[in-house]
Amino acid sequence: MATIKEIAELAGVSLTTVSRVLNYDETLNVQDETRKRVFEAAEQLEYAIKGKKKRKKKLKIGVLCSYSLEEELEDTFYLSVRVAIENKIEMEGFKKYQIRNTDQAEAVAALDGLICLGTFSKSMVDHIASFGKPVVLVDAAAKREIWDSIVTDTRRSVHKVLDCFLNYGHQKIAFIGGDEVDSDGNEVIDARLLAYQAYMREKGLFEEDYIKIGGYTPKHGYRLMKELLELEDRPTAIFAANDSLAVGCYKAVQEKGLQIPEDISVIGFNDISMAKYMIPPLSTVHVHMKFMGEQAVTLLAERISTEREISMHISIPAELVLRDSVGENKAVS
């Protein structure tokens, strides 16, 4: 292995200059041509720089959530993703900053990048963009072409649910979902609802009465399920937009004296921790919440370190987990 002395002789400079150039000493005042000679000499002599290793920069990463603590606790999907983000930040040795709102201009300005979790209005997106920071959106399509995003492949996931119901002989399939309004007061339509509507229309099975929209909590699931059970031609299968809604569906069905899945089949979405402990255990779409959170941090750190200009949009597949809440449609002979 070449020594500093050999490099100094080949480059025609002092030992001190070689050492300081190779260690990227910012206080060293030499011409670029001199630096070039040192690096070329080191390359020619296959010199491996000793001692000073390039340290991983301790990035300052902000986490901005569009929802309240109460909403997070009612639908633990976001809680699971947020915890995964925070754990990954800590594991990588980065510094986490919880940004409550973008009015914290000084705090945001000090960040290296921002992870945004949830649904953001146009005015909020414009405000975030004004800081000029790298951004990764989680569970939302990129609102700016230059931002990265990580989402679940919702359309394909919904198709798996509906295909499953059809395979079990169900055609009267209802959808229970939530309504959402962004900070500008604009309605946000759930991608799961859009996928459901398109699929059912394509199959010639669409019934407007089988769509019930409220919130995303168990109490909404309970109320909306009761409405479906009052229909003269009630559905035999329920697709709940999240597992919290499915919890409420269970209660309404049981109060009616019906059984799951003997009388009504139910499939949820997200596969939160309690889904497997419901009675009967809930069939649901397993969304890779932990993976989404971790990849958000990895993607942001990579973009910051490489200064990548091209945005990346990652769609993560989800799996249908069949447990005991789906059964054959007894009305089918």
Q: Which amino acid is at 295?
A: Q
Q: Would you call 69 helix, strand, or coil by DSSP?
A: helix
**What's the rounded mean pLDDT across residues 11-23?**
83
User: Same structural domain for residues 80 and 163?
Assistant: no
Question: In the prediction, which pLDDT does 102 show?
Answer: 63
pLDDT at 51 over 80: no
Q: Would you call 137 helix, strand, or coil by DSSP?
A: strand
| Within-domain flag for 92 | yes
| Within-domain flag for 276 | yes
**CATH number of the domain that residue 128 is part of:** 3.40.50.2300
The CA-based angle 88-315-115, given to 5 degrees, is 40
Question: In the prediction, which pLDDT does 66 show?
Answer: 85
User: Same structural domain for residues 180 and 75?
Assistant: no
Query: Mean pLDDT over all residues of the chain?
Result: 88
| Within-domain flag for 148 | yes
**What's the rounded mean pLDDT across residues 246-264?**
97
pLDDT at 52 over 90: no
Is the pTM higher than 0.95? The answer reads no
The DSSP code sequence of 150-205 is: EEE-HHHHHHHHHHHHHHTT---EEEEEE-EE-TTS-EE--HHHHHHHHHHHHTT-
Q: Which helix H or strand E contains 220, and what residues bound it?
A: helix 218-229
User: Same structural domain for residues 166 and 122?
Assistant: no
User: Same structural domain for residues 281 and 192?
Assistant: yes
User: Same structural domain for residues 164 and 278?
Assistant: yes
- The number of distinct structural domains making up the chain is 3
User: Same structural domain for residues 283 and 158?
Assistant: yes
Which of the four pLDDT bands, split at 50, 70 and 90, describes residue 1? Answer: low
Question: In the prediction, which pLDDT does 47 show?
Answer: 40
**Per-residue pLDDT reduced to its tens digit, 94-125:** 999 988 766 677 788 889 999 999 888 888 88
Question: In the prediction, which pLDDT does 249 show?
Answer: 97
| Within-domain flag for 106 | yes
| Within-domain flag for 133 | yes
CA distance linking residue 160 with residue 158, whole number of Å: 5
- Which two tokens mark 303? 């973009």
User: Same structural domain for residues 86 and 106?
Assistant: yes
| Within-domain flag for 323 | no
Q: Which segment of 25-34, 39-48, 197-206 scores lowest on mean pLDDT?
A: 39-48
**What's the rounded mean pLDDT across residues 149-176?**
97
**What's the rounded mean pLDDT across residues 140-149?**
82
Q: Are 284 and 271 in contact (CB under 8 A)?
A: yes
Q: Are 208 and 193 in contact (CB under 8 A)?
A: no
Which of the four pLDDT bands, split at 50, 70 and 90, describes residue 2? Answer: low
User: Same structural domain for residues 131 and 238?
Assistant: no
Question: In the prediction, which pLDDT does 100 show?
Answer: 75
pLDDT at 50 over 70: no
**Per-residue pLDDT reduced to its tens digit, 217-229:** 999 999 999 999 9
Question: In the prediction, which pLDDT does 49 show?
Answer: 46
| Within-domain flag for 272 | yes
Q: How far is CA 231 from the centre of its chain?
A: 36
Question: In the prediction, which pLDDT does 59 show?
Answer: 94
The DSSP code sequence of 78-92 is: HHHHHHHHHHHHHHT
Residue with the bigger pLDDT between 182 and 176: it is 176
pLDDT at 46 over 80: no
Which among 174, 113, 182 has a CA at the least distance from the CA of 148?
Answer: 113
User: Same structural domain for residues 162 and 273?
Assistant: yes
- Domain limits at 85? 60-152+289-317
CA distance linking residue 127 with residue 94, whole number of Å: 25
Q: Which segment of 46-50, 212-216, 263-267, 314-318 scores lowest on mean pLDDT?
A: 46-50
The DSSP code sequence of 240-302 is: ESSHHHHHHHHHHHHHTT--TTTT-EEEEEE--GGGGGSSSPPEEEE--HHHHHHHHHHHHHH
**Per-residue pLDDT reduced to its tens digit, 290-323:** 999 999 999 999 999 998 989 999 999 999 999 9
**What's the rounded mean pLDDT across residues 11-19?**
88
User: Same structural domain for residues 223 and 191?
Assistant: yes
User: Same structural domain for residues 147 and 238?
Assistant: no
User: Same structural domain for residues 171 and 147?
Assistant: no
| Within-domain flag for 52 | no
Question: In the prediction, which pLDDT does 297 show?
Answer: 97
**Per-residue pLDDT reduced to its tens digit, 57-95:** 789 999 998 887 777 777 778 888 999 999 999 999 999
Rg of the Cα trace of the chain?
27
Q: Are 250 and 259 in contact (CB under 8 A)?
A: no
